[in-house]
Chains A and B, each alone.
Chain A
Amino acid sequence: MDRKYNVIADEKTVLLAENIAANFDENTLIEFSNKGIYKRALKDLDGISDIFASCENDMIKITLSDVTVTLSADIKSSRCSCSSKVICRHIISAAITVSQFKGNTNQTKTDEISKTAKSDNETKKSEKEIDFTYLEDVKSTAVNILKKGIMNCTANDCELFVRLSLRGGSAYRNISNLCRSFSEQINLMNTKSADFSQIRSTEQICRLYNIADALIKKQNSVLLKNTVYENSGKGYFICLGIYPRRSESGYAGITAIFLEKELNDFFTYNITLPDFYKSTENAGNLQQLEKLAAKHIHWQNNTAVIQLSGKNFTLMNYKSDERRRISSSKQTSCLIGAELDKSMLSDKLYMLPENEEYDYFFPKNTEQFFLIKNPVFTEVEFNSIFQRLYYKLSGDNTEEIQCSLLFNEINSKIIRFIENNHNTPFENCDLLVRIFSGKYYPVSIIGNKIINICF
Chain B
Amino acid sequence: MEKVIAMLEDIIADLGFSGISCAGANIIPRLKEACSYCHELNMSLGENICMMLSESLSQGNTVSAAEYLCRLSCYVHCLIGFNSERL
Contacts and interface: CB of A to CB of B under 8 A. Distances in A.
Interface of A: 142-143, 146-152, 197-203, 205-207, 209-210, 213, 355, 358, 360, 363, 436-439
B26 interface: no
Given A143-B63, A207-B73, A198 B20 contact: no
Given A358-B81, A438-B82, A149 B74 contact: no
A202 B12 contact: yes
A443 to B, nearest CB: 16
Interface string B41-67: 000000000000000000000110111
B47 to A, nearest CB: 19
Given A147-B21, A149-B16, A201-B16, A360 B77 contact: yes
A210 B19 CA distance: 18
Nearest to A151: B17
Contacts of B63: 143
Interface residues of B, number: 31
Interface of B: 9, 12-22, 62-63, 65-67, 69-71, 73-74, 77-78, 81-87
A358 B83 CA distance: 10
A202 B13 contact: yes
B86 A143 contact: no
A151 B70 contact: no
B66 A147 contact: yes
B15 A148 contact: no
A438 B83 contact: yes
Contact of A149 (B18, B81, B84): B18
Contacts of B69: 146, 206
B19 A202 contact: no
Contacts of A209: 66-67, 70
Contacts of B71: 210
B84 A437 contact: yes
Nearest to A355: B82
A203 B20 contact: no
A210 B84 contact: no
B84 A147 contact: no
Contacts of A201: 16-17
B18 to A, nearest CB: 5
A205 B83 CA distance: 17
Contacts, number: 100
Contacts of A439: 84-85
B73 A202 contact: yes
Contacts of A205: 16
Most chain B C-beta atoms within 10 Å of own C-beta, residue among A151, A203, A209, A358: A203
Contacts of A147: 19-21, 62, 66
Contacts of B16: 146, 149-150, 198-199, 201-203, 205-206
A149 B17 contact: yes
B21 to A, nearest CB: 5
Most chain A C-beta atoms within 10 Å of own C-beta, residue among B14, B18, B67, B82: B82
B66 A200 contact: no
A206 B70 CA distance: 5
9 contacts: A146-B16, A199-B9, A199-B16, A200-B86, A202-B16, A203-B12, A203-B73, A206-B69, A213-B67
Contacts of B20: 146-147, 149
Given A148-B21, A152-B19, 7 more contacts: A150-B19, A203-B77, A205-B16, A206-B16, A206-B69, A207-B77, A436-B84
A152 B21 CA distance: 12
Given A146-B69, A147-B21, A203-B86, A360 B78 contact: yes
A238 B19 CA distance: 52
A436 B17 CA distance: 28
Contact of A363 (B13, B73, B87): B87
Contact of A199 (B21, B70, B82, B86): B86
Contacts of A146: 15-16, 19-20, 65-66, 69-70
Contacts of A213: 67, 70
Contacts of B65: 146
A399 to B, nearest CB: 20
Nearest to B22: A149
A142 B16 CA distance: 10
B19 A151 contact: yes
A438 B9 contact: no
Contacts of B77: 203, 207, 360
B87 A360 contact: no
A438 B74 contact: no
